[in-house]
Amino acid sequence: MTTITPVLMAGGSGTRLWPVSRKSFPKQFAALVGDETLFQASARRLSGEGFADPVVMTNSDFRFIVAEQLEQAGIQAGRIVIEPAGRNTAPAILAAALMVAETDAQGMVLVAPSDHVIPDAAAFAAAVAEGTGPAAEGRIVTFGITPDRPETGYGYLELAGAGAGPQPLARFVEKPDADRAARMLEAGNFLWNAGIFLFRADVMIQAFRDHAPHYLDPVQASLSGAQTDLGFLRLAKQPWLEVEDQSIDYAVMEKADNLTVVRFSGRWSDLGGWDAVWREALDRTPSAEGVVCDDNSTAIDCHDVLLRSDSDDLKVVGIGLRDVMVVATSDAVLVADRGRAQEVRKAVTALKQTRAKQAESFPRDHRPWGWFETLALADRFQVKRIVVKPGAALSLQSHVHRSEHWIVVSGTARVTVDDSVTLVTENQSIYVPLGAVHRMENPGKVPMVLIEVQTGSYLGEDDIIRYEDVYSRSSAD
DSSP 260-292: EEEEE-S--B---SHHHHHHHHHHHS--TT-EE
Q: Which domain holds residue 65?
A: 4-264
What is the band of 261 on the pLDDT scale with cuts at 50, 70, 90?
very high
pLDDT higher at 471 or 144: 144
Q: Is the pLDDT of residue 229 over 90?
A: no
Residues contacting 235, CB < 8 A, separation 6+: 81, 82, 83, 84, 95, 222, 223, 225, 226
Phi–psi pair at 242, nearest 5 degrees: -85, -10
pTM, to two decimals: 0.90
Question: Kindly report the CA angle at 292 between 290 and 294, in degrees rounded to 5?
Answer: 165
Helix, strand, coil abundance in the chain, percent, nearest 5? 25, 35, 40
**Are the beta carbons of 113 and 270 closer than 8 angstroms?**
yes
26-60 residue pLDDT tens? 999 999 998 899 999 999 999 999 999 999 999 99
**8 belongs to a structural domain:** yes
**274 belongs to a structural domain:** no
User: Measured between alpha carbons, how far is 194 from 111 in angstroms, rounded to an integer?
Assistant: 11
Q: Is the pLDDT of residue 336 over 70?
A: yes
**Are the beta carbons of 388 and 394 closer than 8 angstroms?**
yes
Q: What is the pLDDT of residue 161?
A: 77
DSSP-derived letter for residue 304 is S
Q: Do strands 108-113 and 79-83 pair parallel, antiparallel, or not at all (unpaired)? A: unpaired
CATH of the domain at 205: 3.90.550.10
Q: Are residues 131 and 226 in the same domain?
A: yes
Q: What is the pLDDT of residue 266?
A: 94
Q: What is the pLDDT of residue 231?
A: 86
User: Measured between alpha carbons, how far is 64 from 472 in angstroms, rounded to an integer?
Assistant: 12
Q: Are residues 191 and 304 in the same domain?
A: no
> How many domains is the chain partitioned into structurally?
3
Helices 201-211 and 216-224: crossing angle in degrees, nearest 10, is 130
Q: What is the pLDDT of residue 12?
A: 78
263-299 residue pLDDT tens? 999 999 999 999 999 999 999 999 999 999 999 999 9
**Are the beta carbons of 239 and 117 closer than 8 angstroms?**
no
Phi–psi pair at 185, nearest 5 degrees: -60, -45
| Domain final residue pick, 296, 330, 354 | 354
**Are the beta carbons of 161 and 210 closer than 8 angstroms?**
no
Q: Are residues 346 and 374 in the same domain?
A: no
CA distances from residue 43 to 6, 116, 213, 413 in whole angstroms, order as listed: 8, 11, 31, 34
Q: Is the pLDDT of residue 476 over 60?
A: no
| Domain final residue pick, 199, 232, 264 | 264
Q: Are residues 111 and 91 in the same domain?
A: yes
Q: Are residues 348 and 457 in the same domain?
A: no
Q: Are residues 56 and 102 in the same domain?
A: yes
161-185 residue pLDDT tens? 777 889 999 999 999 999 999 999 9
Torsion of CA 19, 22, 26, 31, to 10 degrees: -20
CA distances from residue 474 to 121, 233, 241, 363, 463 in whole angstroms, order as listed: 40, 17, 20, 22, 12
Burial (CB count within 10 angstroms: exposed 0-12, middle 13-18, buried 19+), residue 303: middle
Average pLDDT over residues 108-133: 96
What is the band of 475 on the pLDDT scale with cuts at 50, 70, 90?
low
Q: Are residues 177 and 145 in the same domain?
A: yes
Average pLDDT over residues 230-249: 95
User: Measured between alpha carbons, how far is 101 from 202 in angstroms, rounded to an integer?
Assistant: 7
Of 16, 7, 6, give the one whose Cα is nearest residue 277. Answer: 16
**454 belongs to a structural domain:** yes
Q: Is the pLDDT of residue 429 over 80?
A: yes
**Are the beta carbons of 263 and 144 closer than 8 angstroms?**
yes
**372 belongs to a structural domain:** yes
Q: Is the pLDDT of residue 333 over 90?
A: yes
380-410 residue pLDDT tens? 999 999 999 999 999 999 999 999 999 999 9
Q: What is the pLDDT of residue 472?
A: 79
Q: Is the pLDDT of residue 474 over 70?
A: no
Of 395, 377, 373, give the one whose Cα is nearest residue 385. Answer: 373
**280 belongs to a structural domain:** no
**281 belongs to a structural domain:** no
Left if phi > 0, otherwise alpha if psi is -120 to 50, otherwise beta: which for 225?
alpha
**276 belongs to a structural domain:** no
